[in-house]
Amino acid sequence: MDAWTQLTARIRELDSLNSAAAALDWDQQTYMPPKAAATRGDQTALLQRLYHERFSAPEVGGWLSQLEAADLDDTQRAAVRLNRRRYDRAVKVPSALVEALSQARTEGFHAWVAAKEADDFSTFQPKLQRLLDLTREYASALGSAQCAHPYDALLEEYDPGATVAELRPMFDRLGKELNVLLDALAGRPHPAPFTTVLDEDGQRRLSERVLRDLGFDMEGGRLDKSAHPFTTGLGVGDVRLTTRFFADNFLSGLGSTVHEGGHGMYEQGLPNHLAGTMLNQAAGMGIHESQSRFWENFVGRSLPFFRYLAPRMGALWPTESFSAEQLFGAANRVERSLIRVESDEATYNLHIIVRFTLEVAIVEGKLQAADLPEAWNEAYRTIVGVVAPSPKTGVLQDVHWSSGYFGYFPSYTVGNLYAASFAQCMLRDLPDFWGQVERGEFGAILGWLRTNVHQKGHVTDAPEIFRAVVGDRDPVEDLVAHLWSRQGAVYGVTRPR
Catalytic residues: 260
Q: Does 37 bind its own copies (CB under 8 A)?
A: yes
Q: Which is nearer to its own copies, 11 or 354 (CB)?
A: 11
Q: Which of residues 220, 314, 389, 435 is near its own copies by CB under 8 A?
A: 220
167 close to 357: Cβ distance less than 8 angstroms: no
What CA–CA distances, in Å, run from 41 to 55, 110, 172, 451? 21, 14, 41, 39
Q: Which is nearer to its own copies, 19 or 368 (CB)?
A: 19
Buried b (16+ CB within 10 A) or exposed e, 210-230: bbebbbbeeeebbbebbeebb
Among 132, 142, 153, 234, binds its own copies (CB under 8 A): 234
218 is a site residue for its own copies (CB under 8 A)? yes
Q: Decide if residue 36 touches its own copies (CB under 8 A).
A: yes
User: Of 230-238, 277-285, 371-379, 443-451, which segment contacts its own copies by CB under 8 A?
Assistant: 230-238
Q: Which of 61, 126, 202, 235 binds its own copies (CB under 8 A)?
A: 235
Residue 155 touching its own copies (CB under 8 A): no
HSE-CB at 290 with a 13 A cutoff on CA atoms is: 25
| Contact between 24 and its own copies per CB under 8 A | yes
Q: Could you count the other beta carbons within 10 Å of the beta carbon of residue 472?
A: 5
Q: Which of 5, 9, 12, 365 binds its own copies (CB under 8 A)?
A: 12
Indicate the residue type of 398.
Answer: D
Among 32, 100, 118, 387, binds its own copies (CB under 8 A): 32
Which stretch, 36-44, 75-83, 97-105, 328-336, contacts its own copies (CB under 8 A)?
A: 36-44
Residues 237-266 that bind its own copies (CB under 8 A): 237-238
Size of the site for its own copies (CB under 8 A): 37
Q: Kindly tell me which residue out of 3, 7, 11, 47 binds its own copies, with binding defined by CB under 8 A.
A: 47
* Contact pick of 2, 9, 27, 342 for its own copies (by CB under 8 A): 27
Task: Please tell me whether residue 471 binds its own copies under the rule CB under 8 A.
Answer: no
Min dist. Cβ of residue 15 to its own copies (A): 8
Answer yes or no: are the C-beta atoms of 267 and 257 closer than 8 Å.
no
Nearest to 203 by CA among 240, 241, 242, 253: 253
d(CA 471, CA 157) in angstroms, rounded, equals 26
Distance between CA atoms of residues 13 and 60, nearest Å: 13
Single out the segment in contact with its own copies by CB under 8 A; choices: 27-35, 252-260, 294-302, 457-465.
Answer: 27-35
Is 43 an interacting residue with respect to its own copies (CB under 8 A)? yes
- The residue (of 13 and 166) whose beta carbon lies closer to its own copies is 13
Question: By CB under 8 A, what part of segment 364-393 binds its own copies?
Answer: none
Residues at the interface with its own copies (CB under 8 A): 12-13, 15-17, 19-20, 23-24, 27, 31-40, 42-43, 46-47, 50, 217-222, 224, 234-238
